[in-house]
Amino acid sequence: MIGRIKNLVYNNIAQGVFQLTTILVGFYLTRFIILNFGSELNGLMVSINQILGYFALVEAGISGSIIYALYKPVYENDKISVNRLLSTSKSFFTKAGFTFLFFTIIYLSLTAYLVNKSSLNKIDLLFFLIILSIPIFIRIFYISKYKSIFIADKKEYFISLSSIIFLITNFLIITISTNAGYDLIVVKLFAIFSTIIQLIVLYLSFNRIYPDYNFKSTKILDTIDNKNDVMWNQVLTGLIHGLPIFIASILLDFKTVSVLSIYLLLIHSVSGFISVLSNNIVPHLGEILITNKNKLLKKIYEKYEYYYFIILTYSFSCTALLIQPFLELYTNSIEDANYIQTNIIFLCLLLGILNLVKSTRGAIMQADGQFKITKNQLIIQIISAISFGMVLTYMYGLFGLLSSLILSHLIRNFLIFIYSYKKYKFINTKYSFKNITILFIFIFISFIFTLYFPMQFSNYKDFIGYSIVVFIVNLFLILITFEHFNSYYSLKTLIKLSKK
């Protein structure tokens, strides 16, 4: 129990630092690239990365099913079974890497479409595609096989550490080489070195932490339980995640893609912090499920859901209050595209919330191995997203695109809540809807406040000062509200427990 709590704390801290680093580096580099190379080239790079990201889904199902299969042998310290699964994962990831390479080669032959929409000539575009694909190939072929064991053993903090080193190295390479006068293609070529460093860190960590584990077992499994269902879950989740950029790349221009990428970067940054809770709790829920500790499962889930909704409400309420003044500051010197659109801000906030509000129930379903049910729900969501998305984007542009995604998330949330209500009797549905109501009331009030009392700042110092006030006041109001409406895990109860 103590080891589980220790790993959970380490993982949350490490992933929190990783998410913070991702936000800082991501926002700085995006603005840096737009200012130095323009919105169009940034939009082109975002579009290419999204297409390559879809190709990378060939590895889908391998990590998730391997992790799920590793829970029991890792818990029981069954080294033979662990090594067999690791060797199996290596075999599958190798095949996935070559499949990704095959799709990328086909994509290279279809660059004429991108040439017609960009300022790059065909040769430069070909080199750009090849360079952007190399880090993804390295991740599939080499890095992914190390991640599975760290996640199954609840030591994700090693993955976070390697990712932080990657981000910092990537940041230094891009800024230094750009300031040295190199064009974006050469800059991204140099940046491949940061992926190689991440691989080295994971390789050394694996060999130090797991001297008895290896990828050399000759008894490789032909298949893995739940692999196909996990594969489709990850493929469909990846499709939904990348759908905004994908549809925008087809129906809209690259400058609009660049605008959308800024909004999504901000929403995904906030969501990334919140997702740390869901990502880290799944292995612990999975371990409790296989040991049939039902009372402990109910207790942990109830605490998890309570704190999750406090953090979700706080994060998006603050975001609703700060997003517009931040974007005005952030895009101040960018004049080749309109980055301040109030209606798009509102839709992105709503999209981010709807994507996360189901996460507590999604976590228990994932830990319980309900991959087939999740797959069916995702299929319905992706069909609705594509159907609505192509039509509404063609008719209403970016507004229509985001509206279609919101509709698809509403459908998915409805399906998850109905299934979890029937399957998991220990979940208090009335309690959940109470938290969801508090969440949407806070977001609505925060957004209305920004409309009627818009804040403008000429420098980041004043903005940070205002942000601190928002963080403190919002935290106080949200804690008081949850304290009043949820006495089960009230602050008074926590104080009493801490004194025992």
Q: Which of 105, 119, 115, 94 is nearest to 39 (CA)?
A: 119
Please, which pLDDT band fits residue 350 given cuts at 50, 70 and 90?
Answer: very high
Q: What is the mean pLDDT of the chain?
A: 83
pLDDT recorded at residue 202: 93
Q: Place 498 in a pLDDT band, splitting at 50, 70 and 90.
A: very low
Contact of 432 with 305, CB cutoff 8 Å? yes
Lookup result for tokens 């390789």: 203
**Higher local confidence (pLDDT), 452 or 491:** 452
Ranking 320-334, 355-369, 446-460 by mean pLDDT, the lowest is: 355-369
pTM, full prediction:
0.75
Least trusted range by pLDDT, from 25-39, 287-301, 445-459, 462-476: 287-301
Q: How confident is the model at residue 399 (pLDDT cuts 50, 70, 90)?
A: very high
Interatomic CA distance for residues 258 and 248, integer angstroms = 10
Instruction: Give the per-residue pLDDT at 276.
Output: 65
pLDDT at 96: 84
pLDDT at position 18: 87
Q: What is the pLDDT of residue 470?
A: 94
The whole-angstrom separation of Cα 330 and Cα 336 is: 14
User: Would you place residue 424 in the very low, low, confident or very high pLDDT band (cuts 50, 70, 90)?
Assistant: confident
DSSP letter assigned to residue 119:
S
Structure tokens given for 427: 């979940």
Please give the Cα distance from 213 to 26 (Å, whole number): 35
Q: pLDDT, tens digit, for every residue of 154-212?
A: 788 889 999 999 999 999 999 999 999 999 999 999 999 999 999 999 999 998 988 88
Measure the CA–CA gap between 459 and 453, rounded to whole angstroms.
Answer: 19
Q: Are 375 and 228 in contact (CB under 8 A)?
A: no
- Lowest average pLDDT, out of 112-116, 413-417, 422-426, 448-452, goes to 112-116
Per residue in 361-384, pLDDT (tens digit) is: 877 777 777 777 888 888 899 899
Residue 274 has pLDDT above 90, yes or no: no
Per-residue model confidence as pLDDT tens digits over 40-99: 888 888 888 888 887 787 776 677 777 777 877 887 788 888 888 888 888 888 888 888
